[in-house]
Structure 1
């Protein structure tokens, strides 16, 4: 089976945390963050093309009861912006419950920029996805 490349997005109103992995190694690595601006879809598209991404994994926010929130709608609307772009890339959602809290705990006192939390959260989202979908492959 050929290797697949993954890009995870932790979508926020100010920043988008990024992480990458491939299906051979199955270890998600933080890949920085981008400011959420009017050029964000173009910037992500360029990353997808440059890194030959097969699957974009988007963190899907829900409340503690598992129900959608205002942020859930924001993320769904964000993803809809990719509909008009011709990419041969699958977009999937992955539960992101408590990933920002986990990211802060992992980073501890080493946080220099809030974007680091977003990138770490994206790596947790992607690692969860890989463990659920590619555990025994």
Structure 2
């Protein structure tokens, strides 16, 4: 998963996020390597959007990559609308790119199979799983850009 991306620096600083109801997983490509960042634990939309906005400014992000479930199925329409509304609240002035996030959480969970059951549960609760999902979202962005 943590492959080198030599063309990563050409678009500036890029951050990926996996927006959920309780946590927002984050990942960034640093020196060509996709790395998870600490997740934002969501208390409410305002707090979460404020924290994400501050992080985007602090890290001088020019591209925000956001995971969306693939469309076509009616039960995803609400989720897609909720995620896009949240991104609008952030008020990011750079480029926003939406990427298919299907199965990224499952891939991230499989990546934690080496952990015991309690450690996996903690990784879900503290947002590490969400940030691993954001890594996969960022990987998909780079693969799409090739």
Determine if the alignment matches structure 1 residue 124 to structure 2 residue 136.
Answer: yes
Structure whose residues are more often helix by fraction: 2
CA distance in 1: counterparts of 2:81 and 2:11, whole angstroms: 32
Determine if the alignment matches structure 1 residue 52 to structure 2 residue 65.
Answer: no
Per the normalisation by structure 2, the TM-score is 0.78
Determine if the alignment matches structure 1 residue 108 to structure 2 residue 113.
Answer: yes
Instruction: Tell me which moved more, 89-98 or 103-112.
Output: 103-112
1:56 Cα offset (Å) = 0.5
Q: Which runs of 5+ in 2 are unaligned?
A: 1-8
Q: Which runs of 5+ in 1 are unaligned?
A: none
Determine if the alignment matches structure 1 residue 92 to structure 2 residue 97.
Answer: yes
Per the normalisation by structure 1, the TM-score is 0.82
Moved over 4 A (4+): none
After superposition, the CA RMSD in angstroms is 2.0
